[in-house]
Amino acid sequence: MSAEFSLRSALGIVILMGGWICSAQQVPFSCCQIQDGDQPSIKQPSLRVFLFGVCPTTLGSEPSASSSRPVPASSAPASFAASLVRAPAPKRRRTLDRSYFLLNSLHLGIAGFDIAMTQHCIADQHCREANPLMPSSLAGQLTVGIAAVGYGSIISYRLKMHRSHLWWTGPTAGILAHGAGVATGFAHR
């Protein structure tokens, strides 16, 4: 019973879709051009409109053989033409651009260099880690350092996505702090 029902429903869907396709093929498509000089945001001089084979000027009449030619813009209603014309979408600024990647990758690179210099200094027993929140082991420093850089990058991304002009302050502060650590590592070499 269920196989018979599914066969009937599939046959019904095929017939229904075939009817829609056939009715769509019988409609002659005519084209008309709408000139709109009132809107300066349009870069193209004309807009081609296809409305199921009927131009805006022949909406109430039967389509004829002469309606397949373009209709001059003066015979098209202005309100109809204005409703079809869309202003171009404003350009969206990219969040992940060159400046974002440059600043955050510099922050990651100098953080890694700071960890390497600190580990070299600790191994030579010339110095110790001055940050009480940072562990002395390499694995601990890498974990805390990468987590801090990743968190700063996420905050920087969210600030830049919301068009805040302060998106660069987090990575810049990290670069300066790790730069001081690198300079201290070179001083105690």
pLDDT at residue 129 in the model: 87
Tell me what the mean pLDDT of segment 6-32 comes to: 56
Q: How many alpha carbons fall within 13 Å on the CB side of residue 130?
A: 13
pLDDT at 30 over 60: no
Q: pTM for the complete prediction? A: 0.53
CB atoms within 10 A of CB 181: 22
d(CA 96, CA 161): 9
Helix (H, G, I), strand (E, B) or coil at 33: strand
Pair 28, 63: CB distance under 8 Å:
yes
How many angstroms separate the CA atoms of 128 and 162, rounded? Answer: 40
Nearest to 106 by CA among 180, 175, 177: 175
**Mind listing the pLDDT tens digit for each residue in 37-81?**
544 444 444 444 444 444 444 444 444 444 455 555 555 455 555
User: SS3 of 46, please?
Assistant: strand
**b (16+ CB within 10 A) / e for 113-137:** ebbebbbebbeeeebebeeeebeee
With left for phi above 0 and alpha for psi between -120 and 50, is residue 34 left, alpha or beta? beta
Helices (H) and strands (E) in the chain, counts: 5, 2
Please give the pLDDT value at position 88.
76
* 116-160 residue pLDDT tens: 999 999 999 888 888 898 998 999 999 999 999 999 999 999 999
